A = this chain, B = another copy of it.
Amino acid sequence: MQRTTFSAQHCSVARTLDIIGEWWTLLILRDIFYGVRRFEPLVEQLGISRKVLTHRLKRLTEENILRKVPYQHNPCRYEYRLTASGLDLLPVLLVLMRWGDRWLSEDGQAPVEFVHADCGQVSTAKVVCAHCGGELTVRNLRPQPGPGAVLEEIESMRSASVNPDLFKKIRL
């Protein structure tokens, strides 16, 4: 099956999924966050085929989410480290984990917890407004075209919505 590409869409969710939305990719990144940086341990931990892992690591390196760093010479062997944009995917993993803990774990029993060293408590991730720290909900967020918007696309979304008022602040 030919993979659909979302990268031409003027939407940051679509563009992000175009890179990290392939099966396995976020689980590979999860393991690298846990310090599993080398090919053989990744194969073992993930139970992934070598072919698929090779392909995913290549893609993530090309997209500058991982970088290859030699850890041994003769023969040369590499490990994979997170770049700045790769490290910035931690919030994505934490938010996915929080949702799974809440909705998919038996009796809400989280398989893994995180102690937040700064406060010493078992922490869960919470998504808030970067400006005021308040909660972000469907009811208090109003989409509007950003500087990279294609207005026709947003107007099309508004027309298709059963709730066009959601977009009423759009300057079209």
Contact = CB atoms under 8 A, between A and B. Distances in A.
Identical copies of this chain, number? 2
> How many A residues touch the partner, as a band?
35 or more
A142 B117 contact: yes
Nearest to A142: B115
Nearest to A14: B27
A92 B99 contact: yes
Residue among A31, A34, A133 with most chain B CB within 10 A:
A34
A36 interface: yes
A17 B26 contact: yes
A16 B111 contact: no
A78 interface: no
B111 A10 contact: yes
Nearest to A17: B26
A108 to B, nearest CB: 8
Contacts of A38: 162
A16 B121 CA distance: 24
Interface of A: 1, 3-4, 6, 10-17, 19, 21, 23-24, 26-27, 30-31, 33-38, 41-42, 44-45, 79, 82, 85, 87-107, 109-119, 121-150, 153-154, 156-157, 160-164, 166-167, 169
11 contacts: A4-B24, A42-B160, A45-B157, A88-B103, A110-B147, A110-B148, A111-B148, A118-B140, A121-B129, A123-B132, A125-B129
